[in-house]
Structures are given as C-alpha cells and as structure tokens.
Structure 1
C-alpha cells in the first residue's frame, strides 16, 4: 500500500492547516486525501487559497459544511441569526466564484484499495460515527461498504475501532479538534494507521482569528486555545 495522509475538518483554521501540510511534506506521502469541511470557520479565504492551489494534486471529499455553503451560494436565502448560517454566508462572501464552484464539485467518497474515505458515514455526510456510538449502530452505517476499512471525520475526535469485520478510523479535526491539543490527522502506510497530532502556535492562531474579523471570532479563538473535551 502507498503512503497516504488523510486530513479532515479543517474548518477555516489556516495556522493548523499550514502546520499539518508541513508535516505531510516531511513524510513524503504518495497521496493526500482531504475529507471535507474545509472552509466553514474563521479563515475561509486563507484556507481555500492554500487548498485551491492543490486541487489537481490532492483528492477532495465533500463534507456537510462544504455542501451547505455551496447550496446557500447557489440558492441564496435569508441568513438566520445562528452560527451555522452566518458562517456559511461569511464563507460565501470571502471566497471567489471559482472557489465556491470548486467546493461544490467534490465527490461523496473515495476508495483506495480496501479503504473507503467518507466524511460522515458511507450513507450520509451528516451521519455521525462517534467514539462511543454502539457497535450495532455503527455496523448498520458501514455494513454495505465493500471495503473493510472506513476512514471518516465529522465528529472531530480521533479513534480507531474494530466493528465486527470492519475497521473504522476517525482522522480527527485539523482545525476544530476535540480531546486533543493540536491539529489532528491520519497517516496510513501498509497496514499501519497512525493517528497524528501536530502542535502549532495556538496563541498566534487565535490572535490572527480575532484580527480576521469573522462572525463568532471569539468563540473560534477560544476553541483553538482551549479545545473542549467532549465524549466519554
């Protein structure tokens, strides 16, 4: 098997993305798979500018927030007074037409040999496979996948679980991680799966987020400095 890096849930955190890309470059991987939720967050312009340059080199999977931003862009609607829709609109205003169209062009899943990469689950991009989801429930989500290894994201907590005949791996979140102090990602080589956590300048990242002026910037900055401990 070739050497693959999987990065998920960047969520508009430019400092975290830069740190992980530097680590990936050192590893000399064969492929980089970006598992969705790129722009939604405090620094969509900076993140998308970096990844748009890699659009012909990396493989991109659509996350639920990528899809929702694109849908709101294609069919403008009244922005509700809530975090999700306000950040969606912020992303639309920050990105170019070409970047938004590109965001809406990602595929739902990618298969690499016996490994399936999806954002949420093999059934839907908002279906959550959590670290503590009961085995029987996870199995219903993954049982129809032909591949024996499923790599996912969406829930922002790294884990590797054996679910009957399937191995389920959550790569964690690059930009809005939980239960980890750093940018989370996955390195795969042969039959070895390594869950990585890359340190970066959290205080500098938080200060930049405040300066960039996104809606809810204080909440994003605090999350970067003090990642929540969620789950069991």
Structure 2
C-alpha cells in the first residue's frame, strides 16, 4: 500500500463492527446506485423477501433516484443492515457541508436527499459481521476492511488480500465496490462479491441485476429488470451524468477490463 493513500475506514464514533445472528439466510445487495427498477426487482425475489436479513453493502443512493432509494431501504425496517460505501460517504459529507462537491453531479445528488436521508447516511456503519448458518461469521464491508475505496477483485493477489483482511475475525469476507460478481478462496478466506444491483460490470445483456444469497452456502444470483425504465428515470430526473450512467447500463465494460484497471489502481473513489 502506498504511504500517501488516505484510508477511509470506520468513523470516529464507531468501535468494532456490530455482530448479528445467528441467522439462516442473508440476501446481499450491493452498489444499488439509486437504480429503482433494479432494486425493486431484486426486493421482489422470493428468496430476498424470505431472507432473515438483507445486507445492503454500500453505494446505495448515488444515482438518479437517491431519495426514493432511501425510502425503499427504510421500508425494510429492522431486516435491513446497511454498510457505508465511498459514495454514501461523499453524499453525506457534501449534503451536510463537510465536503465541497467536486462536480455539479455530486452536488445534484446530495441535494436530492431529504434531511432524514442524509441523517441516515451519516449513521451507516463501515462494516458489520453476521453469523450465518453453514458459513460462520461473515464480515461485510464495501471496499475492504481497511478502506471503503479499496478494490477487491477475482484477481487480487493473495499477499494483498492477506494484508487487507488481517484484522477481521471471520471465515468469509463480502465486499462490493468493484461491481464484479465472484466467489473465490484466497489467503485462507472466502472472498465474495455479490456484484452490483444497479450497475453491474458483466458480459451478459442489459437489464440484469446481480446479488447473492448466503446460507448455508454462497449462491450468486441475477434478476432481470426493465432497463428501459431505468434509462427513462435517469433522463426524467435530469441527472447531470445521465448519458454516462445510461451507457454503463446498456453497454457495461467487460469484467476483465475492470479487473485489470482495478488491480493497477487498487484504491478508487
């Protein structure tokens, strides 16, 4: 790790990750990026509706419909465990005046959160641990256990993975951030990414949300949704970055491109 990299780990008010469980089934939804049609489609899946907990693994509201995304999360009540992503951190900091927006879109997104939604984002923890039947303790974080903007991919070398996971007490590490769905064993731990609900990087057709079901094993899942609805909502919302957002929905970059770029950069906001 470069000495000049600023790590974005637990906030000053946080201690060790809060622990939950044991439970039988956990649905993991990551990187929703305020894509309401994709989010609603996954929430409607029977296995998600029946899960004991729904872990929302970061980058929740950063996209065309942030307030609506917050309201769907709030409606899940105590079943939802949220983890803070780098974009959630940005939205909270900009929305509360702690940070100055670098682009018009950053300010636009922050402005579309109600005071309640911004308050929610400021309280989302960096990570959680859930005891899941068949898997044992599972550590959830957005980037890595040491920073919300560190990328973990299917090609992360065992040496770096061992360093980034050294402090956790778990048998399985679930991350997001890379928008890549995978399940591998490395450096003695199981490394899982459910992929992205709202903006997955994959080789399949558009209109596919990625997620995972945990317990008693790991099942990587996909759900079809109406991508034209997501495109129309981005334009109706007057998202300043609508064209780039839509392009990523309709023609996502190839996973291998993302892996190569991510492993060359390691830390990406």
User: TM-score, length-normalised on structure 2?
Assistant: 0.79
Match of 2:221 among 196, 199, 207: 196
Partner SS, residue 54 of structure 2: strand
SS across alignment from 2:220:
strand
Q: Is the 8 A contact 1:42 1:215 kept in 2?
A: no
Number of equivalenced pairs:
227
TM-score by length of 1: 0.91
Tell me, in whole angstroms, the C-alpha distance in 2 between the residues paired with 1:74 and 1:55: 24
The residue number in structure 2 matching 1:41 is 63
Is the aligned partner of 1:154 residue 2:154?
no
Match of residue 185 from structure 1: 211
1:41-80 correspondence runs (5 A): 41-75=63-97, 78-80=100-102
Matches of 1:11 and 1:197 in 2, distance apart? 16
RMSD: 1.7
2: distance between equivalents of 1:135 and 1:199? 34
| 1:39-77: CA deviation from partner (whole Å, max 9, x where unpaired) | 111221221221122243311111111111111122255
Contact 1:40–1:87 (8 Å) recurs in 2: no
Structure 1 runs not aligned, ≥5 long = none
Map Cα deviations across residues 157-207 of structure 1 (whole Å, 9 max, x no partner). Answer: 0111111210010111110110154111110121x1011111111122212
For residues 7-38 of structure 1, what are the alpha-carbon distances to aligned partners after superposition, in whole Å with 9 as ceiling and x for unaligned? 10001111110111001566511111111111
Q: Distance in 1 between matches of 2:250 and 2:37?
A: 12
Task: Name which of structure 1's ranges 202-211 and 117-126 shifts more when overlaid on structure 2.
Answer: 202-211
Shift of residue 87, structure 1, vs aligned partner: 3.0
